[in-house]
Structure 1
Amino acid sequence: MEILNSFGTHLHKIGALNQAKAVAFGCLLCSIIAQTQAIAQTLPITDMKVSPSPSPSPSAQAPESSEKPSEGVYEFIAIVNGKPISKSLFELTVQEWIARGQKDTPKLRKDLKEELINRELIAQEVSKQGLDRQINMDDQLQQLKHRLYVQIFTQAHLKEQGFTDESLKQEYQNLKKQGSPNLAVVQYQLKQIKVREKSSALAVIGRLEQGEPFDLVASQLALASGAKPGKNEAVWVNANQLPPALSEGLSQLPIGGINTSPVATEGGWLILKLEDKRNGAASANAADGAKGDNGANGASGSLMSYEEYKNQKVQAVLQQYYNDTLRRLRSGAKINQ
C-alpha cells in the first residue's frame, strides 16, 4: 500500500538524516532539541549530571577533587579539522534514535557517527561563510535552555510518581489479560490523492474545499497524468503506523473530512480523506474473521505494543502535570503584556 510504504520509508530510513546538511546552524539547534525531547520520553529515568568543562588554558591547574569525571566526557569519536566530537554527544544521538524505535546496531552507530561528522563539517562551513551572524544566538540558546528546563521539570515528576518499566509492564499485562479497550489501536479508513508538487496539492485541496467530489478529482488527475483511472479504494491504517503529527491531525478530522495541509512523502505530496475510523480491538470482536472489511493489511484487532502503551501513558501524565502546573503558576504570577 502506497501510504504505508511511503511513511515507513520516511520514518525508518537513516539516510533521511542527511537533510540536515542543507540547513544552517539554527536548524542544528532544533535537532539537538528534538534529541532531548525524544530521550525525555524514555524510562527508566536517571539523574542528570553536568559534565565539568575542560580548563581554558593548558597551564591552568584544575582544583583537586576526589570525584572522577563522568565516563565519556573527555572521550572523542572523531576530530574534524581540529574540532573534537565527544562520545557523550554521540551516545545522546544514539539514544534519540533508539527512542524512535531503531535498534542499537553497529550499522546504526556507524551511520550516526558519519552524520555527526557531516554536521560538524556543515557547522564549520557556516562559520566560515559568516552565516552564523545571521541568527541571534542568544535567543536560540535561551529557547534551548527553556526547553531543557521543561524536560528536567517533567522528568522530576515522573520520578516522584514512581514510574518504572517494571510497574508499567505489569499494568500493561493486566490490561491485556482483561481485554481492556485502552490497549486498542485506533484505525483510520483513508482515501488518498498523490501529486508531485506541493503547489498542485494545495490546488487540489482548494477544489475539494469548494465541494468537488474526492473520487472525481482523483480520477481527473489520473487521466491528466496518463494513468489508467481505477476505483479509489479506501484502506484501513493503524494510527501507530503514521507519523505522530499526521495521526494527531486525523484524530481531529470529522468523518468525510480532508487534511487541509498536504503531507510530504517520498516522491510527492498526499491529500487524504477520512472515510471512517474505529477502535481496532472492538472491530475485531464485532466481525471476527471478516477479512473483507479489514483490507489487505489485516489491521483489525491490533493492540498497542508495550512501548506504545508506555509512551502514551507517560505523555498523558506529563501533559496533565504540565497543564496543571501552568494553571497554578499563572494564577499567582504578575504578567504584563
Structure 2
Amino acid sequence: MVKRGQPDTPELRAQVKDNLILVEAMAQRGAAAGLDKDANYQTQVELTRLNLLANAYVTDYMAKNPVSDAVLKAEYDKVKPDLEKEAAAAGAQYKARHILVKDEKAAKGLLAELKKGGNFAELAKKNSIDTGSAQNGGLLDYAAPGNYVKPFADALVKLKKGQYSQEVVKTQFGFHLILVEDIQAAKVPTLEEVKPQLQQQLQQQQLQNLLEEVKKSAKVE
C-alpha cells in the first residue's frame, strides 16, 4: 500500500493488521467447515500457485536480462529515419506569444498600444484571458501551426521572427494579437528523449520472445 502511494502511518498499519486478522479468522472458519478439502478450492489454489510462480519467473528473467544501452542505440538508429520523416512533415515550429480578449474593441486598443511601443509580454499579463499563458506574458511552447485553430495558424505563418500581427485575429475563443518569438525547424527527438518508449517496446518484444521459447520447449502430454 505504501508503494502505491499511501503514507506509512499508525492508522494504515492498524488497518492492515485488522484486515489480516479478519482474513485469518475467516480462513480458520472455512477450514473448520472442511472447505479447504473442496475440489474447486484445491483447483483455485493450484491455479493461483501456478500464476504466482510464472509471474515470479518473468520478473526474475527480466531483471537478469535488462535491455542494454547498445541494443537501445541500435533500435534508435533503426527508427531514426522514420523520426526524421515525421519531423520534416511537421514543418517549422513557432514559439509565439498571444493576447486573448473577449471583444474586438479591446483588442484594437491593445494593438494601438503595441504600435506606440507597448511591451507585448506586459500587456498579455495584464489583459489576456488565456490564464494558461497570461502569467508568462502570453508565451506558448514551440508548436507547428497545425496545432492551432485555422485563423490563428493562418496569421501565425505570415509573421517573421520578432513581428506581431498588425490586425486583430478572430477565432472561436475571442480576439487575438500574436507575436512570433522564434521559428525553428522541427527537431528529431534524441535517444534520451525516446529512451523510455523504446525500452518498453524492447522489453515487450523480449517478453514475447521468452513466451514463444517457453512454449516451443515445453513438453505437453
**TM-score if structure 2 supplies the norm length?**
0.41
Q: Which has the larger radius of gyration?
A: 2
**TM-score if structure 1 supplies the norm length?**
0.28
